[in-house]
Amino acid sequence: MTSALVTDVPFAAHSKAIQALDEFDALVSQYEMLLDTQHVFVGTANFAGLFEMASRGDTLARDAALCGKRFAPLVNAVVSGQFSGPRASEIRRRSFAARSSAETLDGSASRLANACSTLRDRMGRELRAGASAGTQAGLPPAYRTGSQLFIDRRG
């Protein structure tokens, strides 16, 4: 019976994984700031600012996904028990923290989407209530009477 020798993560792989995890942590921090700013924009109904920042959020999410793909194979190897030692423990701990941060951000993004949806629905109800106040609300503007100015085309 031969037992497989379990060693620690090689230095080069460890340094690459730690670099990717550090990059992921920086992206998480940027995304947290972006979500905080977007929450402020939703609270002030600054939809122009919110829409401008949406592409920035998409870019950060794409970069984080690519970063996660870089360290996922090594993390899977560490979790499956292929490596054991202090470097493997550090990678395991940091990857768990990164996963926890990603899940927290997912929850924050969901709350932001719900806040946007609620505000959109409320604003829609207010617009419909204001538009339906008149007796001619269902008519196109050209057929409404009242305080419309007509253009004198006779010259």
CATH number reported for the structural domain that contains residue 71 in this entry: 1.20.58
**Residue 5 within any structural domain of the chain:** no
Residue 116 counted as domain residue: yes
Q: What is the pLDDT of residue 90?
A: 92
Provide mean pLDDT across the span 99-113. Answer: 84
pLDDT band at 3 (very low <50, low <70, confident <90, very high): very low
Q: How many domains does the chain have?
A: 1
**pLDDT tens profile 52-81:** 888 888 888 888 888 888 888 888 888 888
Residue 73 lies in a domain: yes
Tell the burial category of 71 from Cβ atoms under 10 Å away from its Cβ (0-12, 13-18, 19+): buried
Indicate whether 24 belongs to any domain. Answer: yes
Range of the domain at 93: 11-133
Which phi and psi angles does 83 have, rounded to 5°?
Answer: -130, 150
Please give the structure tokens belonging to residue 73: 């194979």
**Rg of the chain taking only CA atoms, in angstroms:** 27
141 domain residue, yes or no = no
In a 10 Å sphere around its CB, with 0-12 CB exposed, 13-18 middle and 19+ buried, how is residue 86 labelled? exposed
